[in-house]
Structure 1
Amino acid sequence: MSESTDPNRTVLLRRGEVHSPADPFATAMVVERGQVAWVGSEGAADAFADGVDEVVDLDGALVTPAFTDAHVHTTATGLALTGLDLSDAPTLGAALGLVRDFARSRPGDTVLLGHGWDAARWPERRAPRRDELDEATGGRPLYLSRIDVHSAVATTALLDLVPGVRHADGFHDAGPLLGDAHHAVRAAAFDAVTPAQRTAAQRAALAHAASVGIGSVHECGGPHISSEDDFTALLALAAEGDGPRVVGYWAEQNVDRARELGAAGAAGDLFVDGSIGSHTACLHHDYADAAHTGTAHLDAAAVAAHVVACTEAGLQAGFHAIGDAAVTAVADGVRAAAEKTGLARVRAARHRVEHAEMLTARTVADFAELGLTASVQPAFDALWGGPDGMYAERLGAERAARLNPFAALLRAGVPLAFGSDSPVTPFDPWGAVRAAAFHRTPEHRVSVRAAFTAHTRGGWRAVGRDDAGVLVPGAPADYAVWRTGDLVVQAPDDRVARWSTDPRSGTPGLPVLAPGAELPVCLRTVVGGRTVFVRPGE
């Protein structure tokens, strides 16, 4: 299989399976000047063969729209890919050993950076202590974020570089850093990353995204997450056109500044609360394993003011809200904004809520009425859900079973956009589709087809584009080519169990994604007609 990287060439792909609502039996596709020009059958493709610049023999491969990852932290993802990753460390002792080895291997780093520890999965059930990290690093500065990136541990040497941090909110001498203390230490750690290191990390993250069939990412930046230089450098890098598209969101209440930075919205991780794993998600009732309700950063009045400002400026607003109290504050705030600006204007703006894990029947209905997009991460349930998971430990089994109600959101008509929150969970779009279809709480499961749509077309709709994320004539030629097994059609009245290979269904097939089944392998990713990834040997 070969294919040009020139987006202006006309290319015919044939002898495959093309996932297109325009023709559920399509086996061929023509791409012209960065757009899908035609989809159809193999026999009809003969009429195009002499008028194209290139013919690609798919050899039975599946062609789908490229995935969109609707929540990404690109530089942090790249640093995790190229640096210290503790997500697979099975014990605290193993994690400390990895820290020790990493420090020895990077003698020239001003600050050592690592990510991914999760004490809830370790038998020791505790975070690394500062004295243990001081010993493992030989007294060097180290920043080590928890898997949810809402808390971190650091060495004494790094704390000494941050004046006043020991008196900041969220500083704990014997435990992980939270809140303002965490933000200050994280800023100091990432300030030590040179522009060259940052570019290398961004390239690594985007290249990895392309390698798993992702054609677009939504970057969630902000002053408490990265930096303005990081954000604008990423947008400039993406504009070169050598990788996935990047839509940038800047999480600041200064709407004018978000616009100046080139953001699509003053949105993304504009924190209303924190995370469940770090006990900082804001709840209506106490945590099951801690006598408090978490942390609130914005109330309904602040949400309303921001939504009004964004709506009047023609920008998307968006908020990070995980706990039920935080999600309620967002819904109440957006409703108050709609009373001021008019419901139609608020709905047309397609404001977003990131994560939105703890929803009630009332807030689901509010999301639908207010036109809010739920930007959600199915991998969270796969990683932390179930009766024995972290959610149940933090919230109790009854509350945990109500988290991430994807089916209820879809039934209410709430638009879904799937993402990874990488580096919190890795780029793995087919894994996310499977996680949504096989949710640990059965009543929250959605069909594979609905999950696939949320991870392709849903991401485009979340940025206001209804003409993309699907392979039909006139749509952007953003697609991926996959090596996969049999394609099946899910029965329309059954979310998971009943499948059919009968072509008379008139519905495009998708790969078998049942637990244990091998996931598709990406052979090629194309963005706007330009090839951005080719698997070696293809």
Structure 2
Amino acid sequence: MTHEPSAPPSDPPTDQRTVLLRGGEVHSPADPFATALLVDRGSVAWVGSEGAADVHADGVDEVVDLQGALVAPAFVDAHVHATATGLALTGLDLSGAATLAEALDLVERHARARRGGVVLGHGWDETRWPERRPPTRAELDRATYGGVAYLSRVDVHSCVVTSALVAAAPEVRAADGWDEQGPLTRDAHHVARRVAQGSVGESQRRAAQRATRARAAELGIGAFHELAGPDISSPEDLAGLLALAREEPGPQVLGYWGELGGVERARELSALGAAGDLFADGALGSRTASLRADYADAEHAGHAYLSAAQVRDHVVACTRAGLQAGFHAIGDAALDVVLAGLREAAAEVGLPALRTARHRIEHAEMLDAAAVAALAELGAVASVQPVFDALWGGAEGMYAERLGAERALGLNPYADLAAAGVPLALGSDAPVTPLGPWEAVRAAAFHHVPAQRLSVRSAFTAHTRGGWRAAGRDDAGVLVPGAPATYAVWEAGELVVQAPDDRVAAWSTDPRSGTPGLPDLTPGTPAPRCLRTVVDGRVVHDVEGALT
């Protein structure tokens, strides 16, 4: 049964035309050999073979020659921060800086271009620099000519700022997480972020949100989950994004408001839940994720922001209101708290009601077997970001530096979650990692730990249908008659079936297998190119001249 969302859709009305796509490959469980698709007024009307396409060609408004291209359900990114992503796309992005010196040079050039305006930047990662340290406040003061600057770390759980920003918000010095020279974390970071966000005007915010939606459409993303909250953005930011998505064609936006006890605010904002980045802890890179044992490179175990009782009360309130609850939880100690709170909530509202609500855990990285089993029992959705493992996993990556190799190699157990029946929804956490759905599927299929790899097909399903199911929609994310016509057309090359053990299955190109193929995502191969993205029958991205 479909769990109906409590909010109206954020996108414009569906296209009323009838379109026949033929001469390609259609990824559909309705027909594994399908080469044609009929769309009628925003819904899939028929899926079948080229031989039967002529029967459906009469009276259609448009016939599209796919020229061998792949038609597949559009991706759903289950964790996005649209305004911050757009600001990185259109402004100062430090993720590509190879050294601290290069990052400071980028800051200086941006400050000169801003001519005294506030400098907002994102993406620095000291673990990738030979200097192995973040910029100091003095260095930033020189690079910005004494101006106001806020630069978030790649995980967005710490920041570095200039003296001018501190002077503009002197209360930051009294907040937990203040450091006279180093990065700001916890409450001090939240204070600094609010100052930075206050400098973003309405026109700049809308431009950033448009940039994110346009980039998502270019990548075959038909919808994304906006994870808003009082420590991340603002009610006005979420309301503005949802309004923009109603007014202008583009990927659908599914909004969440992550505020403890925020049921009424979530309803006011037409959010699907008081869920998302409601912080139970921080992040591993900033050493603020809450652990059972100390970090390998620090004499503390991170920071916990919630108690089990707070989790319980929030989950009970959301369940009774018909909304999703959800929590950001990365460390094992934070997950212990969230799972304990969910169990206590189940004792109050009943396990069936709790499972029906599809409450969420964002990131869910540091899971042992007992935690995986608990997630399955409680019906919680794991909203995960496989590119985290690609960037920071393995025996020698940042996770190993923070945790030691043994604990690091236990992170992100995707195969264990899937085997236990835990619903998976894939996302990017943009701007933490860039929007890039095929890279997320690749990262899940080629996890650093071979035993935790998903098949490409399973990862693709988690990044398409899984994202809709995480938002309470069971009718979307699959191309079958009656489903929404939200799809992407890909220049993809030969289609194969890839197993989670590094192999392309021997029967992958044998049509007798009856298994729909997907692009080859072996590391080093280029990602497929998106030729067209369609949301409810409406074209929101099109490469000119690619499809006729």
TM-score range, shorter chain: over 0.9
Shift in Å at residue 535 of structure 1?
Answer: 2.0
- Within 5 A, what are the aligned runs for 1:57-206? 57-107=65-115, 109=117, 111-206=118-213
3-state SS of 2:57 partner: helix
3-state SS of 2:184 partner: coil
Aligned to 2:336: 328
Amino acid at match of 1:225: I
3-state SS of 1:480 partner: strand
Shift in Å at residue 255 of structure 1?
Answer: 1.0
Aligned to 1:508: 516
Q: Deviation string for 1:82-116 (max 9, x for gaps)?
A: 0000101000000000001111111163x110000
Aligned to 1:461: 469
Distance (Å, rounded) in 2 between the aligned partners of 1:6 and 1:436: 33
Distance (Å, rounded) in 1 between the aligned partners of 2:526 and 2:141: 42
1:266 to 2:308 alignment: no
3-state SS of 2:354 partner: helix
Aligned to 2:51: 43
Distance (Å, rounded) in 2 between the aligned partners of 1:124 and 1:325: 31
Shift in Å at residue 257 of structure 1?
Answer: 1.1
Aligned to 2:349: 341
1:230 to 2:251 alignment: no
1:524 to 532, 535, 538: 532
Listed as ranges, the gaps of 5+ residues in structure 2 are: 1-12
Shift in Å at residue 240 of structure 1?
Answer: 1.9
Amino acid at match of 1:282: S
Aligned to 1:443: 451
Distance (Å, rounded) in 2 between the aligned partners of 1:73 and 1:358: 23
Distance (Å, rounded) in 1 between the aligned partners of 2:101 and 2:473: 48
Shift in Å at residue 495 of structure 1?
Answer: 4.4
3-state SS of 2:362 partner: strand
Aligned to 1:308: 316
Aligned to 2:3: none
Aligned to 1:277: 285
Amino acid at match of 2:502: V
Amino acid at match of 1:226: S
Listed as ranges, the gaps of 5+ residues in structure 1 are: none
Distance (Å, rounded) in 2 between the aligned partners of 1:467 and 1:485: 29
Q: Deviation string for 1:29-51 (max 9, x for gaps)?
A: 00011111100000100001112
Identify if the C-alpha distance between structure 1 residues 401 and 58 changes in structure 2 by more than 3 Å, giving closer, same or farther: same
3-state SS of 1:460 partner: helix
Distance (Å, rounded) in 2 between the aligned partners of 1:486 and 1:495: 20
Distance (Å, rounded) in 2 between the aligned partners of 1:487 and 1:355: 30
Distance (Å, rounded) in 2 between the aligned partners of 1:219 and 1:331: 24
Q: Deviation string for 1:197-243 (max 9, x for gaps)?
A: 00000000000000000000000000100011101000101112410
Amino acid at match of 2:418: L
Distance (Å, rounded) in 2 between the aligned partners of 1:536 and 1:25: 28
Q: Is the 8 A contact 2:315 2:345 kept in 1?
A: yes
Q: Deviation string for 1:364-389 (max 9, x for gaps)?
A: 00000000000000000000001110
- Between the two proteins, what is the percent identity of the paired residues? 68
Q: Is the 8 A contact 1:448 1:495 kept in 2?
A: no
1:255 to 2:255 alignment: no
Q: Is the 8 A contact 2:450 2:501 kept in 1?
A: no
Tell me how large the CA RMSD over aligned residues is.
Answer: 1.0
Q: Is the 8 A contact 1:62 1:483 kept in 2?
A: yes
3-state SS of 1:249 partner: strand
- Within 5 A, what are the aligned runs for 1:353-372? 353-372=361-380
Distance (Å, rounded) in 1 between the aligned partners of 2:438 and 2:58: 36
Q: Is the 8 A contact 2:498 2:520 kept in 1?
A: no
Distance (Å, rounded) in 2 between the aligned partners of 1:172 and 1:469: 46
Aligned to 1:496: 502
2:401 to 393, 402, 421: 393
Q: Is the 8 A contact 2:489 2:532 kept in 1?
A: yes
Amino acid at match of 1:266: A
Of the structure 1 ranges 72-81 and 238-247, higher mean CA displacement relative to structure 2 is found in 238-247
Q: Deviation string for 1:285-307 (max 9, x for gaps)?
A: 00000010000000111111110
Distance (Å, rounded) in 1 between the aligned partners of 2:536 and 2:502: 33
Q: Is the 8 A contact 2:14 2:42 kept in 1?
A: no
Normalising to structure 1: TM-score of the pair? 0.98
Amino acid at match of 2:503: A
Distance (Å, rounded) in 2 between the aligned partners of 1:517 and 1:498: 13
Q: Is the 8 A contact 1:448 1:496 kept in 2?
A: no
Aligned to 1:19: 27
Aligned to 1:208: 215
Distance (Å, rounded) in 1 between the aligned partners of 2:368 and 2:310: 22
Q: Is the 8 A contact 2:14 2:536 kept in 1?
A: no
Q: How many residues align?
A: 531
Q: Is the 8 A contact 1:151 1:182 kept in 2?
A: yes
Q: Deviation string for 1:138-184 (max 9, x for gaps)?
A: 00000000000000000011111113111111110110000111101
Distance (Å, rounded) in 2 between the aligned partners of 1:490 and 1:229: 44
Amino acid at match of 2:174: H
Amino acid at match of 2:199: A
Distance (Å, rounded) in 2 between the aligned partners of 1:122 and 1:424: 17
Distance (Å, rounded) in 1 between the aligned partners of 2:394 and 2:96: 20
Q: Deviation string for 1:493-527 (max 9, x for gaps)?
A: x5431422111110110010001112100011000
Aligned to 2:385: 377
Aligned to 2:9: none
Amino acid at match of 2:140: L
Q: Is the 8 A contact 1:447 1:496 kept in 2?
A: no
